[in-house]
Amino acid sequence: MTTSGQTTIELELREEITRLRALLPERLDIDPADLERGLAGLVLTLVEFLRQVLERQAIRRMEGGSLNDDEVERVGIALMRLEEKIGEIAEQFGLDRDDIQLRIAAAS
Amino acid sequence: MRLLLRAIVSAEDAGVAADRGLVAVSATAVTALASAWDREGAATEAELLDHHRVIQSVFEQVPCLPARFGSTFADEAALRARLVQREADLAAQLSRLGHRCELAITCAWRDKGASAPIAIVPAASGRAYLERGVARTRTDRERERRAEEIVVRLLGELAVEPAFIRHRTCPRPAVAVSMSALVTRDQIDEINSRLERLGGQLPDVTTVVQGPWAPYTFAVSE
């Protein structure tokens, strides 16, 4: 499907990039005591954001029937492990997973 | 002396600075109200609250455009240069928005369970994991649809010009609608009663109205 020469996927991608831009702070607060934690929070937010984009695409393809059983299983396992890993790293840095979700929601 | 911008007022209202200990920096039509500021780094909660208090105190007395916390200038000359550069736009905004106040309307889902954060619980299989995502997506879509219905009801009750309304649907899991409306002071009581009546007709959300505040969401004073 095309809209003014752009495919729906291109339009969705542009929308996701706009949201991604909103996630990035205008400036980094370089406080030495908190730098590591701040950067970890930023990186985890970006990774979680990308995980959610991939999950939405996977769900759409699963609902549309364009993934076979084996692909559904593999993609599902990969996304589940990635979600668990993000949770573990967030815990290691003392970050609240809900804060990460809120930052992504605020950028929507 | 470094300055923290608090608000923009009309040049003829510059007198409000004096009894609030603020510095007034004027161009032809508008005046910037600022405070001496030598702090660096992130703002504390007390500083943010104080910023809000200063703005509210000005806003209670004269029309103003509130500044977002953190707009600092090296000295009066730097602030004046910026003011002169943006004067036409600021004067236009002040005349359009300055006498209006902002009401913040929040509709929160009553069903807290459905909006609680989702715990990470490993699924039995990759398919089960994605199917859980499908169920969540369907719930989200249903909530988004319901939130849009609520927006239509709110807009109908507010009957405010579209340019004076901003809203977001489902901005957080617990919130259906977050809306800001610019109204005149004489509309506030009537709007509050209408929204209270509407709240009684929306059994799935709790409607809370906060304000009146200076027009934070609509003004671009920096």
| Interhelix angle A97-106/A69-92, nearest 10 degrees | 110
Which of B125, B127, B129, B143 to probe the A interface (max A CBs under 10 A)? B129
Identify the band that residue A1 occupies on the pLDDT scale cut at 50, 70 and 90: very low
Q: Is the pLDDT of residue A3 over 60?
A: no
Selected residue with higher pLDDT from A41 and B169: B169
Test A59 with B120 for CB contact under 8 angstroms. Answer: no
Question: pLDDT by residue (tens digit) across B192-218?
Answer: 999 999 999 999 999 999 989 999 888
The pTM for the full model equals: 0.73
Question: pLDDT by residue (tens digit) across B90-130?
Answer: 999 999 887 899 999 999 999 876 555 556 667 789 999 99
**A29 interaction partners in chain B (CB closer than 8 Å):** 41-42
Q: Is the pLDDT of residue B56 over 80?
A: yes
Question: pLDDT by residue (tens digit) across A57-66?
Answer: 999 999 889 9
For A73, the closest of B117, B125, B137 (CB atoms) is B125
User: Quick one: tokens of A86?
Assistant: 């993000």
H/E segment holding residue A108: none
**B126 interaction partners in chain A (CB closer than 8 Å):** 72-80
Identify the band that residue B70 occupies on the pLDDT scale cut at 50, 70 and 90: confident
Q: Is the pLDDT of residue A13 over 80?
A: no
A27-34 average pLDDT score: 59
Flag the least confident range among A29-33, B52-56, B111-115, B143-147: A29-33
**B125 interaction partners in chain A (CB closer than 8 Å):** 73, 76-77
Test A72 with B126 for CB contact under 8 angstroms. Answer: yes
Please give the mean pLDDT across all residues of chain A: 79
Q: Is the pLDDT of residue A32 over 70?
A: no
Question: How far B37 CA lies from chain A's nearest CA (Å)?
Answer: 18
Question: pLDDT by residue (tens digit) across B147-198?
Answer: 999 999 999 999 888 889 999 999 888 899 999 999 998 999 999 999 999 9
Distance between CA B75 and CA B79 in Å, rounded? 6
- Residue of chain A with shortest Cα separation from B121: A84
Tokens 């059994």 -> residue: B203
Flag the least confident range among A35-44, A82-91, B122-131: A35-44
Q: Is the pLDDT of residue B72 over 60?
A: yes
- Residue of chain B with shortest Cα separation from A77: B126
- pLDDT score at B222: 62
A16-32 average pLDDT score: 63
What is the DSSP code string of chain B?
Answer: --EEEEEEEEGGGGGGGGGGT-EEEE-SSEEEEEEE----SSPPHHHHHHHHHHHHHHHHHS-EEEPPTT-EESSHHHHHHHHHHHHHHHHHHHHHHTT-EEEEEEEEES-HHHHSPPP----SSHHHHHHHHHHHHHHHHHHHHHHHHHHHHHHHHH---GGGEEEEEEEETTEEEEEEEEE-GGGHHHHHHHHHHHHHT-TTEEEEEEEEE--TTT----
- pLDDT score at B81: 94
- Residue of chain A with shortest Cα separation from B122: A80
For B42, the closest of A29, A98, A105 (CB atoms) is A29
Question: How far B168 CA lies from chain A's nearest CA (Å)?
Answer: 10
Please give the mean pLDDT across all residues of chain B: 89
**B172 interaction partners in chain A (CB closer than 8 Å):** 102, 105
In whole angstroms, how far apart are CA B181 and each of A4, A17, B6, B94, B220?
35, 29, 22, 16, 16
Kindly state whether B137 is in contact with chain A, defined as any CB-CB distance less than 8 angstroms. yes
Selected residue with higher pLDDT from A7 and A42: A42
Amino acid, res. B195: L
- pLDDT score at B23: 94
- pLDDT score at B43: 79
- pLDDT above 90 coverage of chain A, percent: 31
Kindly state whether B113 is in contact with chain A, defined as any CB-CB distance less than 8 angstroms. no
